């Protein structure tokens, strides 16, 4: 592959000191020398948030970790430099890098549940952070700990400090991680998808916390995310990465209001619109991996504007306007060139009889009541969305319906038949008719089984006497979820996140279910893959007559898929009705609060215009 000498589009330097300056960074694989990221140049000023966006595998996290002087195993800095507060990280020894991490440059991880030590109390973990990077005066550390917790809107009393991480909610864990990052008063902070998996209310609090702390303490922040709506709400400038290179960069309002790279524009079309004014359209294909990137523009095989020149050399940097640059030969043709599509769920001429009916369901965990008098139904070929904050009871209700949680009373009817509380006490046919797709595709598939073995096991479990060509049946179900038959012999770790989730859906569909329970199935996926999964579920509804119970905290997403929505809080359904009615004219104050806290690109740009 031929590399050019062109720098990447960069956010121009702000007046005064620049805590973060990256120039011509190339990180390559140690064996082959293939670049993971290349020609990366960025500046981040004090108090500024730079959003770094792109699909999974684009190199966002690799760039983010380079600000801490870290390369993943098998990677190395091949050229370029990373300057933090004027100090080149490539010139520092390991002990100096350890001193810099946490003190000068802090890190907020994606999953605080795994990054916080489960064996240590919150107080101990905060103390350890300050002992490493702050003065050793105990009284000052104690004051700083309480101040840091108050800054992230958490209790600072002794009772809270005595808790272990598992005694906190996901939002509280994330805010503890933020407090740990900001407590040493760093100059730079790297936020790696810190709101993925959080409900919209908790996410709004976390984003407000990060924004306020960056501005009040003049911290330069790199915010790595695949959630463009969040970035539109938080960032000052945005850089878009594709296949290891920055392809467009500029001020937030210009990037989202008038994108010039076809990839940026396609990403924006894949973002759900809570107002329902435009269709959600995914991006066909996938980004090329290191060592397999084409000679010309890396986006050429997925671009609807690609011409002959795009196949020969990577585009140079073009200045679109003040502080806005792009690397594309056809950037002037991007506006107005995107494919159109219909917004909203598929048209279903007539919904059938109820597949699922829940009456007066109450549930407990031990001595604690969690669900109260739940009543709802799902008709044949209907999609019912179940929304609410973390802890509202959405997943508990879904697990009761599927028989994965058995401590409940009331009635769950599958058609005309009442179901037993536990799946083990239900008939094989009842278990077949309700299938569950879990949130995390990385944990829900057996890593020691190939895709073919996973799907064949499902066929053998529910259709033991079917006979026929098992390989053909597996291939057919893979094709139903838009996967190639070549995936049969692959293990889960050889698949992307979107491909794994498709396999999980294929496993469920192999049982020929009547009801598919989807529990936050898109929360860990980037927007283009999310759009493709939503398209798949819509097609399955139309083609197979499938009913779906779709659990999510993303209200913008449900307009593209669901017919009706039920809103839950504190174990109760507080509002239920058609999607358009609930999203456009909500009656419950809690629903209005959820909508107010849901980030959207349109709202962020409108706010900029009002300002």
In tens, the pLDDT along 111-148 reads 777 789 999 999 999 988 887 665 566 778 888 899 88
- Kindly report which listed range (219-228, 266-275, 391-400) carries the lowest average pLDDT score: 266-275
Q: Is residue 523 part of a domain?
A: yes
The predicted pLDDT at position 188 comes to 95
Contact criterion met (CB below 8 Å) for 83 and 168? no
The predicted pLDDT at position 350 comes to 60
The predicted pLDDT at position 611 comes to 43
Report the phi/psi class of residue 445: left, alpha or beta, with left for phi > 0 and alpha for psi in -120 to 50.
Answer: beta
Contact criterion met (CB below 8 Å) for 264 and 297? no
Q: Is residue 138 part of a domain?
A: no
The predicted pLDDT at position 460 comes to 93
What's the domain range around 383?
354-449+495-607
Q: Is residue 383 part of a domain?
A: yes
In tens, the pLDDT along 47-106 reads 999 999 998 888 998 999 999 999 888 889 999 999 999 999 988 888 888 888 888 999
In tens, the pLDDT along 505-546 reads 999 999 999 999 999 888 777 888 888 888 889 888 988 889
Report the phi/psi class of residue 266: left, alpha or beta, with left for phi > 0 and alpha for psi in -120 to 50.
Answer: alpha
User: With bands split at pLDDT 50, 70 and 90, how would you rate the model's confidence at 12?
Assistant: very low
The predicted pLDDT at position 420 comes to 96
Put the strands of the sheet holding 237-242 in their side by side order.
105-108, 188-192, 220-225, 49-53, 237-242, 245-251, 324-326, 318-321
Using the predicted structure, report yes or no on whether residue 6 has a pLDDT greater than 80.
Answer: no
The predicted pLDDT at position 609 comes to 46
416 Cβ neighbours under 8 A, 6+ residues apart: none
Rounded Cα–Cα distance for residues 354 and 47 (Å): 54
With 0-12 CB in 10 A as exposed, 13-18 as middle and 19+ as buried, what is 319?
exposed
> H helices within 12-85, ranges in order?
60-66
Its sign, for the CA torsion 489, 494, 495, 497, is positive
In tens, the pLDDT along 337-374 reads 665 555 555 555 566 789 999 999 999 988 889 999 99
Rounded Cα–Cα distance for residues 340 and 171 (Å): 37
Q: Which helix (H) or strand (E) holds 396?
A: helix 394-402
Rounded Cα–Cα distance for residues 409 and 364 (Å): 9
The predicted pLDDT at position 313 comes to 93
Q: What is the mean pLDDT of residues 208-230?
A: 90
The predicted pLDDT at position 8 comes to 60
Using DSSP, state whether 47 is helix, strand or coil.
coil
Number of compact structural domains in the chain: 1
In tens, the pLDDT along 476-500 reads 999 888 888 888 999 988 887 778 8
Rounded Cα–Cα distance for residues 33 and 291 (Å): 8
605 Cβ neighbours under 8 A, 6+ residues apart: 232, 253, 256, 257
In tens, the pLDDT along 151-164 reads 888 899 999 999 99
The rounded radius of gyration (Å) of the Cα atoms in the chain is: 25
Q: Is residue 506 part of a domain?
A: yes
What is 163-213 written as a DSSP string?
--GGGS-HHHHHHHHHHHHHTT--SEEEEESTTTT--HHHHHHHHHHHHHH
In tens, the pLDDT along 304-328 reads 899 999 999 999 999 998 889 999 9
Report the phi/psi class of residue 243: left, alpha or beta, with left for phi > 0 and alpha for psi in -120 to 50.
Answer: left
Quick one: which of 92, 71, 56 has its CA closest to 196?
56
What is the signed CA dihedral for 187, 191, 192, 193, rounded to 10 degrees?
Answer: 180
Given the DSSP bridges, would you call strands 318-321 and 324-326 parallel, antiparallel or unpaired?
A: antiparallel
Q: Is residue 185 part of a domain?
A: no
The predicted pLDDT at position 339 comes to 58
The predicted pLDDT at position 391 comes to 78
Rounded Cα–Cα distance for residues 145 and 137 (Å): 12
467-473: long-range contacts at Cβ-Cβ below 8 A with a sequence spacing of 24 or more?
473/510
Rounded Cα–Cα distance for residues 106 and 117 (Å): 17
The predicted pLDDT at position 344 comes to 55
Quick one: which of 167, 121, 168 has its CA closest to 145?
121
Using DSSP, state whether 399 is helix, strand or coil.
helix
Q: Is residue 529 part of a domain?
A: yes
The predicted pLDDT at position 135 comes to 56
Q: Is residue 54 part of a domain?
A: no
Q: In Å, how far are 1, 2, 37, 60, 243 from 291, measured between CA atoms?
A: 8, 11, 11, 18, 11
Residue matched to tokens 């592959």: 1
Q: Is residue 217 part of a domain?
A: no
Task: Work out the percent of the chain whose per-residue pLDDT is above 90.
Answer: 52
Its sign, for the CA torsion 566, 569, 573, 574, is negative
| CATH code for the domain of 504 | 3.40.50.300
With 0-12 CB in 10 A as exposed, 13-18 as middle and 19+ as buried, what is 460?
exposed
């Amino acid at each position: 592959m031929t590399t050019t000498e062109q720098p990447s589009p960069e956010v121009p330097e702000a007046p005064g000191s620049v805590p973060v300056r990256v120039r011509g960074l190339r990180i390559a694989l140690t064996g082959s020398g293939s670049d993971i990221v290349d020609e990366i140049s960025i500046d981040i000023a004090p108090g500024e948030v730079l959003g770094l966006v792109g699909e999974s595998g684009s190199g966002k996290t690799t760039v983010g970790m380079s600000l801490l002087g870290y390369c993943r195993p098998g990677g190395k800095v091949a050229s370029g430099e990373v300057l933090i507060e004027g100090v080149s990280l490539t010139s520092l020894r390991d002990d100096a890098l350890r001193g810099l991490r946490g003190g000068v440059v802090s890190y907020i991880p994606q999953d605080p549940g795994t990054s916080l030590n489960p064996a240590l109390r919150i107080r101990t973990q905060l103390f350890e952070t300050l002992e490493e990077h702050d003065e050793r005066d105990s009284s000052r550390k104690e004051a700083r700990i309480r101040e840091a917790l108050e800054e992230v809107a958490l209790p600072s009393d002794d009772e809270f400090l005595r808790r272990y991480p598992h005694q906190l909610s996901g939002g509280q864990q994330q805010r503890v991680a933020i407090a740990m990052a900001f407590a040493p008063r760093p100059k730079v902070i790297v936020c790696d998808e810190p709101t993925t998996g959080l409900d919209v209310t908790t996410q709004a609090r976390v984003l407000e916390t990060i924004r306020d702390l960056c501005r009040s303490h003049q911290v330069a922040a790199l915010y790595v995310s695949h959630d463009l709506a969040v970035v539109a709400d938080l960032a000052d400038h945005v850089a878009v990465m594709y296949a290891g290179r920055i392809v467009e960069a500029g001020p937030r309002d210009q990037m989202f209001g008038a994108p010039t790279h076809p990839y940026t524009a396609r990403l924006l079309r894949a973002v759900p619109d809570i107002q329902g004014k435009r269709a959600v359209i995914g991006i066909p294909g996938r980004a090329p991996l290191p060592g397999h990137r084409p000679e010309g523009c890396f986006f050429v095989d997925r671009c609807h504007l690609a011409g002959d020149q795009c196949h020969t050399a990577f585009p140079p940097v073009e200045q679109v306007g003040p502080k806005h640059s792009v690397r594309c030969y056809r950037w002037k043709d991007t506006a107005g060139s995107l494919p159109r599509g219909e917004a909203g769920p598929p048209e279903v001429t007539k919904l059938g009889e109820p597949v699922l009916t829940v009456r007066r369901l109450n549930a407990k965990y031990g001595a604690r009541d969690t669900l109260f008098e739940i009543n709802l139904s799902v008709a044949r070929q209907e999609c019912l969305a179940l929304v609410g904050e973390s802890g509202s009871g959405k997943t508990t209700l879904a697990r009761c319906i599927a028989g994965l949680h058995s401590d409940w009373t009331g009635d769950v009817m599958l058609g005309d038949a009442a179901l037993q509380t536990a799946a083990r006490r239900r008939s094989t046919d009842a278990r077949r008719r309700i299938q569950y797709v879990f949130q995390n595709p990385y944990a829900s598939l057996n890593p020691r089984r190939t895709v073919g073995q996973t799907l064949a096991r499902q066929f053998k479990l529910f259709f033991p006497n079917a006979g026929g060509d098992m390989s053909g049946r597996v291939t057919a179900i893979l094709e139903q979820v838009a996967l190639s038959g070549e995936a049969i012999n692959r293990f889960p770790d050889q698949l992307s996140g979107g491909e794994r989730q498709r396999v999980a859906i294929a496993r469920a569909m192999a049982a020929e279910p009547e009801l598919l329970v989807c529990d936050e199935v898109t929360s860990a996926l980037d927007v283009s893959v999310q759009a493709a999964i939503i398209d798949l579920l819509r097609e399955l509804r139309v083609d197979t007559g499938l009913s779906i119970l779709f659990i999510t905290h993303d209200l913008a997403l449900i307009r593209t898929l669901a017919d009706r929505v039920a809103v839950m809080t504190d174990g109760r359904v507080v509002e239920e009705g058609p999607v358009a009615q609930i999203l456009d004219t909500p009656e419950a104050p809690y629903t209005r609060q959820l909508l107010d806290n849901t980030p959207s690109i349109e709202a962020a740009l409108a706010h900029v215009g009002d300002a």
